[in-house]
Structure formats: structure tokens, C-alpha cells
Amino acid sequence: MLNAITAARRQVLLEMYLVESGQLTDRFIAALSAARSRGVRVCVLLDDFGCRRLNAQDRAHLQSYGVELSYHNPLRFGGKLRRNLYRDHRKLLIVDDTCAFVGGAGLTDAFDPEQHPQLYWHDVMVEIRGPLVADWQAVFIHNWTNWATDSVPPDIGSISTSGQQTGRVSLAGPYTHAMIKRSLLQQISRARGRIWLATGYFVPSWKLRRRLARAARRGIDVRLLLPGPHTDHPAIRHAGRRFYQGLLRSGVHIFEYQPRFQHSKVALIDSWVAVGSSNLDRWNLRWNLEANQEIDAPDFAAETAEMFLRDFADSQEFHFASWGHRPWQARLAERFWGAVDRWVDRHSRR
């Protein structure tokens, strides 16, 4: 991503949720500022809640170079507090008319292997070239025009019309149809061989649990790659673990990644792959703007399968026969945080 920004000649479009001041963000600020100094237009759209730890000095530095900086849904106190729940969880970088990057990583030191060689967050981004770059430009421009109302929208230039693989943009959010959820459920229902899913937060809907259980019972290889002891939200992990028993009983294989925080969001269903920002939890699909890149190509699926197999090897697998013997403290945490999850889910619907 940094190399792409360094090579930019016309425009750089960056849309991010989690951004914090630190050494990794400093590298991006330097690259964006240098691009602007070369005459490149640089538009940065940050979620107002996700970037709350980006300090005023870094914001001022970007603006001093002429970087156009805007914020999605600024937090408001008083009035309709419910509006604050709508967050932009997308992670998207588009450079010129050449390439786009989509995935689950943010701009914080937690993602930097140089600073945290043992515990950097485990995540995935995918680089896109070809005609789909225009679609990602359109996604960014649509959101930019809603929140940077005084700015001229970025433009879509001359995009390559040739590509080697088949794919499409998939979106979700309170202002759009739930393309991501619908696409995932359809692919699960059509699966013939495997359903391998990785997510950083696992609080699945009843509909998703039912589809996964049905697929496992009909002989599909269903595997979940979930966070282990390293996570930034232990409560969410406990709330999601209350669903393990029913899934394990149906034949779903559950793996918890051990070395670091498993934060990636990847789906591999037969030869179909989705990489992006959307986790398998109700909150993401109800309140957040999300964006995934779908790819339907056997060679890309084979690379993704190799990545999954490496991660499964670094994980602890749970089995139905032994899951019932877990410590009482774990059961208590699941029950407590499960109750909290149900309360939040019930009241957030109002």
C-alpha cells in the first residue's frame, strides 16, 4: 500500500475505520504528504469514532500539505444518540486508476510486524487491478460526497478493461441492501465441498448458524477460524463461544488461532473467496458500512486455502466430546456476556 502511494501520479483515495497515531500511521502520513507535494490529489475519509486516537498534530500535518481530510458521521451528543451507531468500518485504498486495496487491516501500530514481531494482529488485504478498480472508485466517491460536501468529488479515470479473474464488489450497511450477508448465505447454501470462514469477531445470527449447521450435516467441510486468547474484545469472544456447542454437535469444525489476534475476515467456499472488512457478527451487518472483494477463481482459491491451512495448523481445534468439560469460569463468562449481547441486540433494534 505504501509503495502504491509512493508511485501515485494523479489521485489517492483512502477510507479507513481504525486509525491511531503511531509509527505505522506516521509512515502513511509521510507517504500521503509526499504524494500531495508532487501534485497528487489526496482524499482521506476516516470514521469519526474509529480515528478518535489520531491526534490533532497528525491531522493538522495532513491538512497543512493540502490533504483533503473528512470524517464519516461525526459523533454527536444530545438529540438522536442512536445516529452515533452508524460507523464506516471499511478499509479501502485506491491509487490512480491502477489499483485498489481492500481488507480488514487498520492503521495502528498493532498491525506492524516490525514493532510487534510476536503479537502483531493477523489480517489480510487483497490488491485489485483491472476493471473492478472503477467500481471501488465509485464506492469511495459515493461516501465522500455524503461527508465532504464542500469538496469536488474525485473522478473515475481511464481504467483497464481487461482482467484475469472474475470478481465483484460486495457492500453492506444501513443505507444499502445487505449484499454481503445475502451473498454469503447464498454461497453457503450452494457449497459442494468446503466452507472455511475466518472472522475477528464471531456473534453470528440465527440464520447464519442454521445454514452452517445444515451444511455440515449434509457432509460439507465447514471450518471456522476464530480468535483465541489474543483479542482486543474478550467480551465478544465469550459471547460468541456460547454458540460453539450447537455448531460442534452439527459437525462444524472450530479452530481458535493461538499465536496472535486473528483479525482477518475471509470466506472460502469451494472456489469462491471474499476478503474484506465484514465480521460475522450482528453488529457489523446491521450498523456498519462494510466492503468486501469477492473473487471466483480456482487459482486464487487455492492460494487462500494454503493460507487457511497454515492458520489451522497454528490453532487449537475444539471437539464436541470435550467442549462440555471446559472450566466453569468459561461457562460463566459465556453466560454473562451472552446475556449482555442479547440485551444490546434487543435494545439496538428500537
For residue 287, the model assigns a pLDDT of: 80
CATH of domain 166-348: 3.30.870.10
| Domain range summary for the chain, segments of one domain joined by + | 2-147, 166-348
Per-residue HEC secondary structure of the chain comes to CHHHHHCCCCEEEEEECCEECCHHHHHHHHHHHHHHHCCCEEEEEEECCCCCECCHHHHHHHHHCCCEEEEECCCCCCCCHHHHHCCECCCEEEECCCEEEEECCCECHHHCCCCCCCCCCECCEEEEECCHHHHHHHHHHHHHHHHCCCCCCCCCCCCCCCCCCEEEEEEECCCCCCHHHHHHHHHHHHCCCEEEEECCCEECCHHHHHHHHHHHHCCCEEEEEEECCCCCCHHHHHHHHCCHHHHHHHCCEEEEECCCCECCCEEEECCEEEEECCCEEHHHHHHCEEEEEEEECHHHHHHHHHHHHHHHHCEEEECHHHHCCCCHHHHHHHHHHHHHHHHHHHHHCC
**2-147 topology per CATH:** Endonuclease; Chain A (3.30.870)
| Per-residue model confidence (pLDDT) at position 44 | 97
pLDDT of residue 249: 97
pTM, full prediction: 0.94
Low-confidence ranges of the chain (pLDDT < 70): 78-82, 160-162, 174-177, 285, 347-350
For residue range 154-182, what is the model confidence (pLDDT) as tens digits? 887 777 666 778 889 999 876 665 789 99
In this chain, the answer to whether the domains covering 2-147 and 166-348 adopt an identical fold is yes
